[in-house]
């Protein structure tokens, strides 16, 4: 019993590439399954824009100090949305976008928690935290 393919016996099959007579045909064994998803980046960028406008208005004094808790509750969902965008970007094999959105998600959570807690030196801590993200 011969282990070579039938093409090795001298009968060159028309579909056998030259020089590959002794290799098995892997085309029938190989499957690549891709899950087609759209880019989640627009959702991530809209989340950044909305949360940045809210925090910017608070920091510029457009919103009063009494709106601090409301802004913190408004920015808190930005953490969840950007974390979701990060996971979806990993699924779409966009590592740079996933990392960027995960870093932004990691910045909105401390911001909203510090703003909610009303810690005495919270703004100083946020300033150092933002410098560390640069």
Q: What is the pLDDT of residues 14-61, one digit of tens each?
A: 665 666 666 666 667 777 777 788 889 999 999 999 999 999 999 899
| SS3 readout for the chain | CCCCCHHHHCCCCCCCCCCCCCCCCCCCCCCCCCCCCCCCHHHHHHHHHHHHHHHHHHHHCCCCHHHHHHHHHHHHHHHHHHHHHHHHHHHCCCHHHHHHHHHHHHHHHHHHHHHHHCCCCHHHHHHHHHHHHC
The predicted pLDDT at position 86 comes to 95
Q: What is the pLDDT of residues 57-106, one digit of tens each?
A: 998 999 988 999 999 999 999 999 999 999 999 988 889 999 999 999 99
- The model carries a pTM of 0.68
Question: When comparing pLDDT for 118 and 56, which is higher?
Answer: 56
The predicted pLDDT at position 34 comes to 73
Give dist(CA 48, CA 82) in Å, integer. 8
Out of 5-9, 49-53, 119-123, which region has the weakest mean confidence (pLDDT)?
5-9
């Amino acid at each position: 019993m011969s282990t070579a393919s039938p093409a090795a016996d001298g009968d060159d099959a028309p579909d056998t590439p030259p020089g590959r007579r002794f290799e098995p045909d892997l085309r029938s064994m190989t499957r690549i399954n891709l899950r087609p998803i759209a880019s989640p980046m627009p959702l991530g960028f809209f989340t950044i824009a909305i949360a940045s406008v809210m925090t910017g208005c608070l920091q510029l004094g457009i919103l009063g100090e009494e709106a601090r808790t409301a802004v913190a509750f408004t920015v808190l969902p930005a953490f969840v949305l950007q974390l979701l965008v990060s996971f979806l970007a990993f699924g779409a094999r966009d590592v740079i976008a996933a990392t960027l959105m995960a870093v932004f998600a990691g910045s909105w959570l401390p911001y909203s928690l510090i703003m909610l807690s009303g810690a005495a030196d919270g703004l100083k801590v946020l300033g150092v935290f933002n410098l560390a993200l640069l």
